[in-house]
Amino acid sequence: MSTDTADVATATGSIRNPVLAGFHPDPSILRVGDDYYLATSTFEWYPGVRVHHSRDLVHWRPLGGIITERRLLDLRGCGDSNGVWAPDLTYHDGEFHLVYSDVASFASGYWDPQNYLITAPDIAGPWSDPVKLHGRGFDAALFHDDGASWLLSMSADWRPGRDRFGGIEIQQYDRAARRLVGQPRILFTGSPVGVTEGPHLYRHDGWYWLITAEGGTSWEHQVTVARSRDLFGPYEVSPDGPLLTSVDRPELRLQKAGHGSLVRVPDGGWYLAHLVGRPYSPLGNCVLGRETAIQRVDWPSGGWPRVPGGVPAEEVAAPDLPPHPWPPEPATDHFDTPELSPCWSTLRRPATADWVDLRSRPSHLRIHGGQSPVGRRAPSLVARPVGATHCALETVVEFDPVDHRQLAGITAYYNTLNWHHLYLTRADDGRTVLELLSSDNGRRTPYPELTVDASGVSRVGLRAVFDGPVVRFAYDLGAGWRQLPADLDATILSDEHAAMIIDGEPAAWGFTGAVLGLWVQDLGGDGVHADFDLATYREHDSPPDR
């Protein structure tokens, strides 16, 4: 959300949704004193588990991610939309607890999930070495109750003919021993909607309240609420239907509403953080991916919680808290700091100095080249989520390739199979050239007629623009900006386009969202690097200048 929009929201006492635009799914919301935190999924991207901070639920600032080291999670070889799923952030006995799932597969009903727990005295760390929990299912979450802690997760069932979402299971976690104890048991098998996952448990008004995601992560998604007087059930599903959903409401701007968690504010009111998607057309592709929104919850004493109308609202009454705006994020990153800004993410490997270098050349980001677009162990892509339908990333690069195996440039990217890339490379005749290449589900399309001679130019400006369903690229060789005459399909950079079902089984899935990034490839392993002088990201309410 832009700072201008946030200021208007505070002035009118409103939260404007989504509060975290672009690739920020599966929110876990937490209040610690006067501070509110949102932790979201990151899948194959580092740092893992992005965290945002607020003091009024209106203004949010990025704190970066928590999983910054391979010590905490190794994503080498991670598949598209695998990796970090549905983190859970809690606070108990003076410590932050983060539970996250590392999911390794989709095929044939096998997920191969592994759940981990790390702790820290402060949200900024330092974080402990991970405790290896179970691998029986994903979306794991902790519940602290009367001195005991309990781990919940969905219970996966790989067996053919069985419900793969076998219910929500619970097992005690011994914080002192840092291990699970006792036997797991099924707590809840879900409502008739099915696909029951994303559990969060709360104790309120003499009841245990179980919040789950159901219906899958697309148009049928919903938040289900159930309650029991006893921790282990039985749990009764709300007679009022889902707490929140967009199902059968294609006219709503916010779709895919589901996967929520609750937070209580000082005056006793409640709010629900949840994921949404904003399709470019009714039930069309969601290029911005799955985003985070917040809804007010009415919860009368003795009654069931209810989101007004049961649907996601774009504007919600904010809690009665002092407005707390943060300094605006600069549009231009001059790469003047020794570490990457929290707005950036890196693909499948942490931003370590061996390939992301902010020190060797002051005020420049030096990226050492990595693998090809399909390489899953050491790619060299530094990117940020696309947060608006109209936005642009602009950079200046210095790069001296010696052959066609060395490429550096700017990209509009979704995953290994879906991207657009404008890059500098060396042609067979020895010229340095700008080339454009697209990949649509792995089918690559070159545009040789658009090749630009960049010989003798040491600094090249590159720009990638999202203009609704179109991506456009431009370049500056020193004589002003020139647009390449190609309108590329932005909708291939979406969850819906990335998903592939073959014979009823998911061969690929899409859970992330489009990003804009700086990409360097060294396909010969010759040690090449590119220097980026700056990067400017801007969002526009209307189409940006072409």
| Catalytic (active-site) positions | 26, 197
Q: Which residue has the tokens 């902010």?
A: 358
> How crowded is residue 336: how many other Cβ atoms within 10 Å of its Cβ?
11
Residues 6+ apart with CB under 8 A from 192: none
* Cα dihedral across residues 458, 472, 518, 364: positive or negative: positive
Q: What is the chain's alpha carbon radius of gyration, rounded to the nearest angstrom?
A: 23
Measured from the Cβ of residue 160, the count of other Cβ atoms closer than 10 Å reads: 8
- Number of neighbours of residue 174 by Cβ within 10 angstroms: 12
Which phi and psi (to 5°) does residue 171 adopt?
-150, 145
Burial 480-504 (b: 16+ CB within 10 A, else e): eeeebebebbbbbbbbbbbbeeeee
Report how far residue 245's alpha carbon sits from residue 223's, in angstroms, rounded to the nearest whole number.
7
Helices (H), 379-535: 495-498
The residue to which tokens 């797991």 are assigned: 184
As a whole number of angstroms, the distance between CA 546 and CA 146 comes to 60
Let me know how many helices (H) and strands (E) the chain has, helices first.
2, 42
Residues ≥6 apart with Cβ < 8 Å to 543: 390, 467, 468
